[in-house]
Structure 1
């Protein structure tokens, strides 16, 4: 594409993906607002002790101390009757207690058997009832008795306590109102506005994720940017690819419509009404986009192909969708199954939104001079190709950890890594192998998002534990890569002397110094202003701001950047930001749809109860680990990392725990096995991404090179040798040590 047409093309791409960029900015705003609100609360507490009581105007207490005082005093004025010991007059006397021989009770009958003559009224004696003895009163809890005894009744104390509490509440309200000064009102207005932004984000994270996936997927579909084993080139390739996508999107549309009808029929209000409509409208638009592409194949499509190659051109997510959807529809008669499992993405909406931010970081990094300047530091040393590949792969571990996944870093820096290795004299196969592996070693380092997802789904492990052991695994893989590179060298390991290399290195470091200062200033600003450090929780929010700052610096200083073709070109901030965000949209649509379909495939494995065929106990921990390693590598070969983590957490992890495998050890094995899977055919996701950024032509040239079996397939065999050896050591050495 010529230089005159590229800006117009970038403008079209930018404006078609503008909604997705606005969504990313919304996520960025939410994350930043969360940090700002935390600091505002701390600042308010520092300036006004007890600020939490001043955040809202206090309401009048619902009590009256005067009324409580009146009720209290009434307890002293009431005098209940005093009752002596013995039965009350109205209490019936038991029959057994009647003494019929008592002369006072009944006179004896006359000798003749007649009734006793009643006494005359004048003969009756009326004795006065003696006054009861207060000490013999049988009402110890009676308030009147307590008052008569000179003590205050319990009700008096109860009303008095309530009255004092009421007075204290009125005093607190009065004090709070006196403390709510105009400055407090202005401060809390700002704080509550930020809180409203945070609450708005929390309540709509699932909606943001659904919109981000669907809008990006529409752009990805229009521009034919989905991930497939082979790119579509011929008309038959495009027919197979677009036709399969249309079928998959219609299947998804019907699944969400069925899911909505189920919830409507059940009259269950789960608050998903708007979310259902977002999915339905989104997949409707995706269906239209697929139909448009199907009816209008590219003008440069060729006519030469085969059925097998055409099937390889079908995007991976489409194949997964058709497999899972047909299973739910035919095997279970459950058309809503796809919708239910895709909905699981929204259960961890913030984590998947962070993936979008990490992709954005990678694309912004791609538009800066940082990667180019770092290689300028190494170039004066004239390192041997194998040694330069080792330094590159190990050095890429840290940015990979911050980008969230190995594939994102390959997309961001793969083209530069391949070009610099080829410039240093590396053969094509070695350059492709190093490019594909450039993101593999950093997924176990802090603050990698994949590890955060593992810890969030599994309470048995924490991020601190995983990152601690992850650093040891990183050192192991680095040593293994160095050994394999040493054995695989095709010449002497030469390098320039320090006297020759240091002047050029110093010049390159001086060019890097402004960027280092910029990073330090921004990080210190975050640390002092927001008490935020670049960790696994805040990195997704902070890194885009840092990279935008770098882009802005490049624009202000008029820096130049080297394009894929090697030409040097100037770029402005708007153009660079537009290109980065446009490419971000395509990658987000491809990655998140693939992740969603991976969860669906994991769902059918879970529902098919495949794990029930696995015995609860294998009898040997080594046999258990061997089976798990095999299964995990297969999963890594066929699924994306995030969907695979969900599947393993739901099914396989319990098998490991039941067989007494330490959870931290198990998840280290999982992460290494996944990375081996991403570098292993038939899918080999990192190799597919390498092909995407380097170009099909360069990869095909490498595939047609002659030589030994290793030389012809080095780009695949070298990563497998390193990561396969690392997996065996990580899996079994701890068992030998522990048992």
Structure 2
């Protein structure tokens, strides 16, 4: 089991979890929501559309679906109820939009797939960009159509000034997207190193820039009548003085403990799944299944139907990382034999994991949404089901239109070469 966990790529997971924890508690989500509402809140159903937009932005920071639902949903659902949305509509939208957390890079599930199949994490991240944007746009279109039918409210246009102000306020959070993806594709650091940088950056922004937690909580950047130079020097000195104490502050300790709980759960599931996958490989189970399917003359499109059905069924009962680690080593060699791009296969599997996050009885997003809204699990399932149909249509598009997934990675790096 320990040997199975000695995979350098998997080291990115605890760092992304820690980064997500600081971003969730450090006020980043609130600023992203304000920016999203300023941009699209004036449309019919604009607050719901803004919640999807905010989920897309936070997904590009966190890599986790439940974290996205908690960070965005805990703020935006209450706001939607205040302006006339039903609780079911608000819960269904956020529950589904939160699944983008594992599709839009960086993504913990993509890291797990890369570790299981030895494909490039950077390619997987790049492959998730277009599908992530497409899924978000499809949900937005669905919301807009429903809003027109139900005559849902639209917010007054906030104006270009509010878009600029909210964008400036969210700048430090949005900058992390540039740091992670720009650093990886600029060759500055590996995806695992990017995760570590993201964790340190999120800690710094939460405690010393936004100051929504830690020793400088609620301390103003600039006092009335204070000169700009004096304010800059004062804040630099405060940062230097409180940097080390901030590492041991009770808010930091609480965030570290919560991130540690999530990491332990994920890594325990991954370790056991890797152990099972090792047994399958040792007994040559994937090779035997590959030979059987090839001998039976199964076509690539039929094989992908089988993969989707298998993952959709498994996603009802298993956590995404564990399911992926068990299934990927089995279907990967078959896909290669049938000429399916491994990156395309990876995105198909991630989208299936998305749907699994909102499928009873163990869909994590369902439980998180239930906790936020105080709705029963059955009520959340009913609320999420209509929007889940959009994700099923999206899954069909991703499955049979490979360039949606492969265009960007092939454009930047050329075709994936599998040894």
> Under a length normalisation based on structure 2, what TM-score does the superposition of the two structures give?
0.72
1:224-279 CA-to-partner distances (Å, cap 9, x unmatched) read xxxxxxxxxxxxxxxxxxxxxxxxxxxxxxxxxxxxxxxxxxxxxxxxxxxxxxxx
Structure of greater relative contact order (alpha carbons < 8 Å, 6+ residues apart): 2
Return the offset for 1:630: 0.8
Partner residue of 1:150?
none
Work out which of the residue numbers 255, 273, 294 in structure 2 matches 1:580. Answer: 255
Return the offset for 1:497: 4.8
Return the offset for 1:730: 1.4
Mapped partners of 2:88, 2:35: distance in 1: 24
Work out which of the residue numbers 194, 197, 200 in structure 2 matches 1:542. Answer: 197
Return the offset for 1:645: 3.1
Matched, 1:665 2:344: yes
**Residues 46-125 of structure 1 correspond to what in structure 2 (within 5 A)?**
none
Matched, 1:699 2:375: yes
Work out which of the residue numbers 270, 293, 307 in structure 2 matches 1:616. Answer: 293
Note if contact 2:41-2:49 (Cα within 8 Å) is conserved in structure 1: no
Distance 1:438 1:538, change over 3 A: farther
SS across alignment from 1:441: helix
Matched, 1:426 2:85: yes
Return the offset for 1:717: 0.8
SS across alignment from 1:359: helix
**Residues 295-444 of structure 1 correspond to what in structure 2 (within 5 A)?**
342-348=1-7, 350-379=8-37, 382-383=41-42, 386-444=45-103
Matched, 1:645 2:301: no
Return the offset for 1:673: 1.4
Mapped partners of 1:533, 1:392: distance in 2: 33
Give unmatched runs, 5+ long, in structure 2: 221-244, 404-419
Distance 1:423 1:535, change over 3 A: farther
Partner residue of 1:732?
400
Partner residue of 1:236?
none
1:102-132 CA-to-partner distances (Å, cap 9, x unmatched) read xxxxxxxxxxxxxxxxxxxxxxxxxxxxxxx
| More deviation, 642-651/607-616 | 607-616
Return the offset for 1:511: 4.4
Distance 1:356 1:721, change over 3 A: same
Return the offset for 1:370: 2.0
Note if contact 2:47-2:155 (Cα within 8 Å) is conserved in structure 1: no
Partner residue of 1:486?
144
Mapped partners of 2:44, 2:261: distance in 1: 33
1:433-466 CA-to-partner distances (Å, cap 9, x unmatched) read 233234322434443343344334435x434543
Mapped partners of 2:102, 2:191: distance in 1: 12
Distance 1:608 1:688, change over 3 A: farther
Work out which of the residue numbers 577, 585, 591 in structure 1 matches 2:266. Answer: 591
Mapped partners of 2:75, 2:189: distance in 1: 25
Return the offset for 1:371: 1.6
Mapped partners of 2:111, 2:274: distance in 1: 18
Return the offset for 1:604: 6.9
**Residues 414-563 of structure 1 correspond to what in structure 2 (within 5 A)?**
414-459=73-118, 461-489=119-147, 490-492=149-151, 495-498=154-157, 501-502=159-160, 504-505=162-163, 508-509=166-167, 511-512=169-170, 515=172, 533=188, 536-550=191-205, 551-553=207-209, 554=211, 555-556=215-216, 558=218
Distance 1:652 1:549, change over 3 A: same
Distance 1:597 1:427, change over 3 A: farther
Mapped partners of 2:393, 2:10: distance in 1: 31
Matched, 1:688 2:347: no
Return the offset for 1:727: 0.9
- Indicate the RMSD between aligned Cα atoms, in angstroms: 3.8
Mapped partners of 1:691, 1:534: distance in 2: 39
Give unmatched runs, 5+ long, in structure 1: 1-341, 561-571, 705-711
Larger Rg: 1
**Residues 154-169 of structure 1 correspond to what in structure 2 (within 5 A)?**
none
Return the offset for 1:509: 4.6
Distance 1:713 1:487, change over 3 A: farther
Return the offset for 1:584: 2.0
1:340-390 CA-to-partner distances (Å, cap 9, x unmatched) read xx3354222x44443222222222112222222233345567546843333
SS across alignment from 1:447: coil
Mapped partners of 1:672, 1:442: distance in 2: 11
The total of aligned residue pairs comes to 362
Distance 1:417 1:355, change over 3 A: farther
Note if contact 1:406-1:686 (Cα within 8 Å) is conserved in structure 2: yes
Note if contact 2:11-2:192 (Cα within 8 Å) is conserved in structure 1: no
Distance 1:597 1:376, change over 3 A: same
Indicate the structure with greater helix content.
Answer: 2
SS across alignment from 1:440: helix
Distance 1:389 1:638, change over 3 A: same
Mapped partners of 2:54, 2:98: distance in 1: 10
Note if contact 1:396-1:442 (Cα within 8 Å) is conserved in structure 2: yes
Partner residue of 1:334?
none
